[in-house]
Chains A and B, each alone.
Chain A
Amino acid sequence: MPAAQPPRGPSRNALLVEVQALRQRVTALEQEKHDLEIMLEMATDHADDLSEALQQERDDLETVLELTTDHGDAIEADLQTQAEALARRSQFIRETFGRYVSEEVVAQLLDAPEGLELGGAKRKVTILMSDVRGFTALAECLEPQEVMTFLNRYLEAIVDVILAYRGTIIEILGDGLLVLFGAPLSRDDDAERAVACALAMQLRMDDTNAPNRRLGLPDVEMGIGIHTGEVVVGNIGSQQRTKYGVVGSAVNLTGRIESYTTGGQILISSTTYAETAALLTVSHQLTVAPKGVAAPITLSAVTAIGGIHSLCLPTQIEMPVPLPQMLDLRYTVLEGKFAGSTLYGGRLVKLATRTAELHLDQPVGAFSDLKLHLLRPTGEVVPGELLAKVVETRPEDAFRVVVRFTSIPEAAGMFLDTVRRDEYPVIDRAE
């Protein structure tokens, strides 16, 4: 038998080397694993940091977003409050002024609410006061419904004119009006617009009278007084009832000026005249001494205005013609709206359409208002009382006056027509 062969394969030494190498490999792998674990840990930590930073940033952004939104809400709430306050103010201005001034003025007030002092302010304004002559007498011969129809037709026409000239209607008292130019908004041409408005109002009276004539009613006429001065304007009244109003002696004076007018006339004070003189045509001037005014004042009777307004009253000069036979009359002097108690006698000596010359038993002052009854030649009283204003007195003869009739009742008018038609010619001359 052959001797046993040593086993084939690596020698022991070689195996030992290989084992050694494997051991080293394991150690290296273990190191690598450890390193990787550290790296993983580092990466995780870093990611955590990053994530935390991102979270912080996200939180900040959320906070900023909330902050911005909250701020937006706060601003919106403020704006809403402001808008509501503005709406209330607009409503107030509309309610306070809407009926008395034009839409244009309301719009201007809303545009410049800070310029509007509702609490009360002293300011220069031009005041216009008008009154219908003979309205009270007319009202007495009409049914209540007819009185209202007449009044409303009159006011509708006149209010339109006033608003067109940007007047502010402060008061409507029956047939009388109180209008301001220069409040609540003042303009350079306040006085000019007031005078132009008065002329336009007079020209519109024909529209008011035309339907009356068709009904057989007498014409009514309007007297207008205008004055420029300082007044206090603002809200006047109690909590329950407040209105935009005006107070001041200038208002009272305007009322006095208006009381000197006869029908169809416009009288303006010297302060208004000073601002408008260049544009106006004045038929005459008169000096009056109203109660409560220290010195006499000069008034101008305006018949036309030039410039952009260009308005002219039709002129009618009446020439009273002597009557061959004087007509007897009885009269009382009106004080304010009340008739005096003393009845005097007198005679009608000259007559035109609306003016007449009278001889009176007792002298009366210029601008006195008289209540007259005419007597037929038989001595019988003509029904109905005439109202007349003394427009001319003579220093040399205090008993002789010229009057302008402000109200002629139907029966008296017919009687005067008979007097004119049958015997007395009347000259009406238009210029």
Chain B
Amino acid sequence: MDIIHEDYQVRYDAATATVICQGSFRLRGTEEYAPILQVLTAAADTKPATLTLDLRTLQFLNSSGINTLAKFVLHVRQYNATQIVMKGSHHFPWQEKSLKNFQRLLPGLQLEIE
């Protein structure tokens, strides 16, 4: 279920219901992001009470990447059963600006920027 790539990694820790994204997501379009979206939706499909998305070590995310995360948030929203916690870092300026926008899709989404 985990994706280990030279430039990026996506891991799901079932014990803590946390998806950890690391490195730089520079993939092109929906097709290339499909495996990542699959890891995210599969984690959501277990319908945990809280699902954490840890992006603190995600240095770069392109526009197709933010789109993929939006799709994931909408997927979780349909169940109306899971609280999403998104963790970000001040170290990467884009995270402060972009992550709070997910609350527009899911007002209950909890954001933790450190």
Q: Which A residues are within 8 Å of any B CB, using their own CB? A: 60, 63-64, 66-68, 70-75, 77-78, 81
Contacts and interface: CB of A to CB of B under 8 A. Distances in A.
Interface string B81-100: 00000000000011001100
Interface in B72-113: 74, 93-94, 97-98, 101-102, 104-105
A68 B94 contact: no
Given A68-B67, A68-B70, A74 B105 contact: no
A72 B63 CA distance: 6
Contacts of A60: 74, 105
B37 to A, nearest CB: 13
B94 to A, nearest CB: 4
A228 B105 CA distance: 66
Nearest to B77: A60
Nearest to A72: B63
Contacts of A78: 93-94
Chain B CB count within 10 A is highest, among A68, A71, A73, for A71
Contact of B62 (A67, A75, A77, A81): A75
Which has the most chain B C-beta neighbours within 10 Å: A63, A67, A68? A67
Contacts of B104: 63, 66-67
The 8 closest A-B pairs by CB, nearest first: A74-B97, A71-B66, A71-B98, A67-B101, A74-B94, A64-B70, A72-B63, A68-B63
Interface of B: 60-63, 66-67, 70-71, 74, 93-94, 97-98, 101-102, 104-105
A70 B63 CA distance: 9
A67 B93 contact: no
A70 B105 contact: no
20 contacts: A60-B74, A63-B105, A66-B104, A67-B70, A67-B101, A68-B67, A70-B97, A70-B101, A71-B66, A71-B94, A71-B97, A71-B98, A72-B63, A74-B94, A75-B60, A75-B62, A75-B94, A77-B93, A78-B93, A78-B94
A67 B69 CA distance: 10
Tell me which of A68, A73, A78, A81 has the highest count of chain B C-beta atoms within 10 A of its own C-beta: A68
Contacts of A70: 97-98, 101
B25 to A, nearest CB: 11
Contacts of B101: 63, 66-67, 70-71
A65 B98 CA distance: 12
B58 to A, nearest CB: 12
A67 B66 contact: yes
Contacts of A75: 60-63, 94
Contacts of B63: 68, 71-72, 75
A70 to B, nearest CB: 6
Contact of B98 (A63, A64, A67, A81): A67
Nearest to A60: B74
B109 to A, nearest CB: 12
Given A60-B74, A64-B70, A78-B94, A71 B105 contact: no
A57 to B, nearest CB: 9
A58 to B, nearest CB: 13
A59 to B, nearest CB: 9
Contact of A64 (B60, B67, B93, B94): B67
